[in-house]
Chains A and B, each alone.
Chain A
Amino acid sequence: MTETTISASGLNLTFQTNDGPVHALKDVNLEINKGDFVSFIGPSGCGKTTFLRCIAGLEMPTGGQISVNGMTPDEARRARAYGYVFQAAGLYPWRTIGGNIKLPLEIMGFSKAEQDERVGRVLDLVDLAGFEKKFPWQLSGGMQQRASIARALAFDADILLMDEPFGALDEIVRDHLNEQLLQLWARTEKTIGFVTHSIPEAVYLSTKIVVMSPRPGRITDVIDSPLPKERPLDIRDSAEFIAVAHRVRDGLRAGHVDD
């Protein structure tokens, strides 16, 4: 029996701006099970990042219910239930890669020995062993983003929230990181929420694809992927993959009828 990790029902969020209220999220209902890899895809302004931030307790919904690990998002944040990866790596330039990964560990009060052990372990996970003493500027953009993933993994939260983590990287690096991310997910069995603009990326990575559309931000389709858990890169040429991609594209187009 699968257990629900994240559950949203009737979720609404309205921002008050100078141009009047903006409905960032309208009546969003979603269940995410433990161990799911869920992608949120949609055009700019569809609320996918806002929804992720609601899960993280960084935004307060103005209506509806949302729970994370059976708690409110704010309680979950205080309980350090998730690691968050931003679009930019956001490593501190004055800390080495190892020092950056230690940042959450220092804040959460892990012992020195435990910090060192964890830094070594997560650097292995993201394939950056040996880069502990380098400064961020000595690494490529893709390596920096991997380091920021390692930082989010370091304190063993069982949820990983990723907001377009590979959006700023070129396609070759992105393919490589997608493959690595799937391996990492298989090894750590985390629940992952992943925001993206890219249809192939969403289909390749996810067990569940949430298609969203803007004005107001809402869910238009939720697709449970029929693809197997084991996914080599060339699965993207298979008929099943193309069929899922098709359905995502249709969902995105349906959200645009009123434009």
Chain B
Amino acid sequence: MNLSRKWLNEFVKVDIPDREFAEAMTLSGSKVEGTADLGADIKHVVVGRILSMERHPDSDHMWVCQLDVGKDESVQIVTGAWNIHEGDLVPVALHNSTLPGGKKITKGKLRGVMSNGMLCSLSELGLDERDFPYGVITAAALLNDYKPIDPAKPSIPADIQPGHKIFGPVVAAKVLECMPLGDGSYHTCMEVKDGTVCPDIHCDNVHVGDMVAYNEKTDDICTLADLHAEQREFPHCIPDGIFVLQEDCKPGDDIKAVTGQDDHVVEFEITPNRPDCLSVIGLAREVSATFDTPLTLHEPVVKGGADGALTDLLDVETPAADLVPRYTARMVRNVKIAPSPKWMRERLRAMGVRPINNIVDITNYVMLEYGQPMHAFDYRYVNGGKIIVRRAEDGEKLTTLDGKEHILNANHLVIADEGRAVGLAGIMGGLNSEIVADTADVVFESACFDGTCIRKGALALGMRTEASAKFEKGLDPMNTLPAVNRACELVELLGAGEVVDGVIDILNNVPQPWTVTMDPEKVNALLGTDIEAVDMYQLLERVEIHTKEKNFPNGPAQVVIPSWRGDVRRLADLAEEVARFHGYNNIPTTLMRGQTTQGGYSPVQKLENKLGELCRTCGYSEIITYSFISPAAYDKILWGKDDAHRKSFKILNPLGEDTSIMRTTTLPSMLEVLGRNWNNRNKAVWLYELGRIYMPKTPSKPMDADDPALAGSKAKLEGIGLAGLTEAVVDAVNELGRDDGLAMEAQILTLGGYGGGMDFFTMKGAVEAVMKGIRAKDVHFEACTEDPSYHPGRCAYVYSGTDIVGVFGQIHPQAARNFGVDGELYCAELSFDELLIAQGADPEYAPLPKFPAVTRDIAVVCGEGVTVGALETAIRKGARGLLKDVALFDIYRGKGIGEGKKSVAFNLTLRSDDRSLTGEEADEDVKSILETLEKDCGAVLR
């Protein structure tokens, strides 16, 4: 909401700099977003009177002007504009002046003649003809400016003389005299063949000595259009030029005051609870309360007296009374559509509204001033003089002012006559009743419509307007009458028409004044303050909240809330009003008292923190990715078309396809980040994220893992190797007892990386470190060949006991390419819920070994198909109770080892807890181990 400080000053006088004003308003609750000095860019631009004009000695189109700029000496300025005349008042940018856009003007020579500044056009002042409609320039076709398109075949001879016929009634005429009349027209005398003619003309570029095309029939001179000429034929006869002022001003005046650009505008952020502040008066109330300065409101006075009785002319019915709390209307006759006066245009412009014509401007002016949307429509299109505010019929059509046709239904509220709709209530008027140049009789509508109905209607039609935005917040029904009267008062003030006596005012649902019990003690208890009761009542009075007696009692009392403060409904709201004007920053600061509570992290949060620490220790940095992905992401990670796991929460109104579904896997998010880093040529990238997936589910009662309702998600989980998650799903469902259509939001610890030595075993090392870090028991790995996102030969499940905790390995090269990576990517996906289950108990100290260990290295040769895991299993199986540790230290293939075979070397640690082992004892165990290796794995000592 923009506020003109000039307009504001009409209601409450506050004369302090913008910054202080903004600060004070912000601290009382009207947040200022910014302030603007409308004329900040304009410096040293003054009004000048053209004393004399001479054609430039060295140019065919420039003028040398002497100007009175209010100083002792006149100023000489050269201009190329043709629309000025001696005696004109024009904006003069003096030497060293600035114009909007930071343009600097300095003196200089133009073709050898000194020019001490510049005369300004409307646009050079940052204005256009909507701000000053009289600034429109009409250009005559000056024959002395004629440049034939084909120099060999001119349409007008270069030596044309006064009286020569051009075509039809159009003859050449030489201007002998041209006198501005001060209203944009000129008195002229011109020489034609048989003497002189003296038409009053409206073309602005005519001067003594010019040759013009004179139409004897219309007694006017011709424009380019009249001659059907092209612009290039008359290069200097253009509808542009200097802004010739018709304002009440004198040479030397600062142009900003003349054009109304001396205003300051303050932009407020208005919260949805304060629709009353979407108006000058509403903000004036806040300003008055903030600065404790009197508010002077103005009671509109309408003279009336136009012909006819309102009741004969207009009848209003509101069959949809539930949607129309109040409907107020007045009529204006014999309307003269014209531009609004400057003061009105200035104010509209300052508030960001473009002036159009007096009637439309009045409705906008009242909307800005009172916050009450007004609509004006042409009476002649209200058939039968009857306005009916009703629900639209299904399929009813209406074309609104913006030229768009809408098909309506019973949810829309329309303003109609007996036959058809003429406007969308509270949203936009109909094209069929628009105010046009020949409108004679106007109906002003000032109504209060149901906010929800307007909001839904505007939303459904995709046309939120300034009016609908106001209505949907719920307007003060007490405002319609003063607003319509103000509009009529302005009509009379502007001489825009005659107001018919009387008002049509239908009150369907106007609430009684709201009262609240004010309890100063409770307010102090809530705020933590110690404000005197009397002071509180005085603070409330600033916002026109009074006791019925308008006194300041020293205890609880009923207070009456003004009609425009629909947001003040109970004591807490009064506390806020008191606090606002007492000053939030005057409320003391205290620390919490009361019962102490035990804070801290839950076991889940502790594990979250722990996992993050472990990943970082392993060299992985944390990332944060979006929870929503593109449905195509499932294709990119090579999931089957009918993979049940694709079933995702789908956002109905996403920002775009890329962020349209809630992920059921974190893998694409990680791969996208890896791809982006790859693309940015980052060499070593190791990342982790503990992020959620969102699984659809609709269980209705406590369930166990065999519940058929879970079959789908079980299969899905198994599909990505997270079968163990099922248990967590069941737990979560039962724990939360959700039957609410929400998601199962499970966390996944995702690791991903490339470069810096990353390979399968590096990733496996990280997974092992995580499992070790949480003291998971019985961790083992099995090859996984079926996960479509991973390399079928470099992928494994990680188990804790019989539960699959997750899957990891090299990303399938095709999937990697889908993310723009032409190299090896490695990822791990671990279920947080499974990690929580796998987490071991707090450690208990075990005594350090008292006796030395014996170590033995063995190397066995076996077939390629035998896994190290199988060999280890055999070693542990074969040991006779002394084996404490097995460590792989070498795998060798090649010379000395048969084709299709490998040599695998282990370091064995053997120890007894109750004695020092002898070499023989150790050898016994090793012997047994070797036998088992041979028996179970066909592995023989090398």
Say if A and B assemble together: no
B residues lining the A interface (CB < 8 Å): none
